[in-house]
Amino acid sequence: MHPAAGAGRPDPVRAARRAYDDVVTPTSRPPATSGSDVTPASGTPTRRVLLASPRGYCAGVDRAVLAVEKALDLHGAPIYVRKQIVHNKHVVATLQARGAVFVDETDDVPEGALVVFSAHGVAPVVHEEAARRNLRTIDATCPLVTKVHKEAVRFASEDYRILLVGHKGHEEVVGTAGEAPERITVVENPEAADTIEVPDGERLIWLSQTTLSVDETMETVRRLRVRFPHLQDPPSDDICYATQNRQVAVKKIAPQCDLMIVVGSSNSSNSVRLVEVALEHGATASHRIDSVDEIDPAWLDGVTTIGLTSGASVPEILVREVLAWVAEHGYGQVDEVVTAEEDLLFALPQELRRELKAAGMSAATESAEAESAASLPS
Which residues contact ligand SF4 (rule: CB under 6 A)? 58-61, 119, 142, 144-145, 210-211, 240, 242-243, 270, 312
Is the bond preceding 54 in cis, omega lying within 30 degrees of 0?
yes
Contact 95, 65 (CB under 8 A): yes
Please state the closest distance from residue 306 (CB atom) to ligand SF4, in A. 24
Nearer to ligand SF4 by Cβ, of 145 and 348: the residue is 145
Which positions are catalytic? 172
CB of 369 to ligand SF4, least distance (A): 13
Smallest distance from ligand SF4 to CB 352, Å: 17
Select 129 or 215, whichever has its Cβ closest to ligand SF4: 215
Other C-beta atoms closer than 10 Å to the C-beta of 147 total: 22
User: Measured from the CB atom, is 59 or 254 closer to ligand SF4?
Assistant: 59
- Rounded CA gap, 31 and 184, in Å? 43
Q: How far apart are the first and last CA of the chain?
A: 37
- Print burial letters for 305-336: b (CB count within 10 Å at least 16), e (below 16): bbbbbbbbbbbbebbebbbeebeeeebeebbb
Contact 238, 1 (CB under 8 A): no
- Smallest gap, in angstroms, from Cβ of residue 126 to ligand SF4? 18
Q: Which residues contact 130 (CB under 8 A, 6 or more apart)?
A: 106, 109, 115, 137
CB of 111 to ligand SF4, least distance (A): 30
**Best CA proximity match to 272, nearest among 242, 220, 311:** 311
> Smallest gap, in angstroms, from Cβ of residue 376 to ligand SF4?
22
Q: Where are the beta strands (DSSP E) in the chain?
A: 23-24, 48-53, 79-82, 100-103, 114-117, 136-139, 160-165, 184-187, 203-208, 259-263, 286-289, 305-310, 333-338, 345-346
Closest CA to 164 of 155, 154, 173, 172: 173
The span from the CA of 172 to the CA of 174, in Å, is 5
**How far, in Å, CA of 84 to CA of 91, rounded?**
9
Taking the complex as a whole, how short is the minimal distance between the CB of residue 80 and ligand SF4, in angstroms? 20
- Give the CB-side neighbour count of residue 202, counting CA atoms within 13 A: 19
Q: Which is nearer to ligand SF4, 52 or 259 (CB)?
A: 52
In the bound complex, which residue of the shown chain has the CB atom lying closest to ligand SF4? 60
Q: Which is nearer to ligand SF4, 35 or 264 (CB)?
A: 264
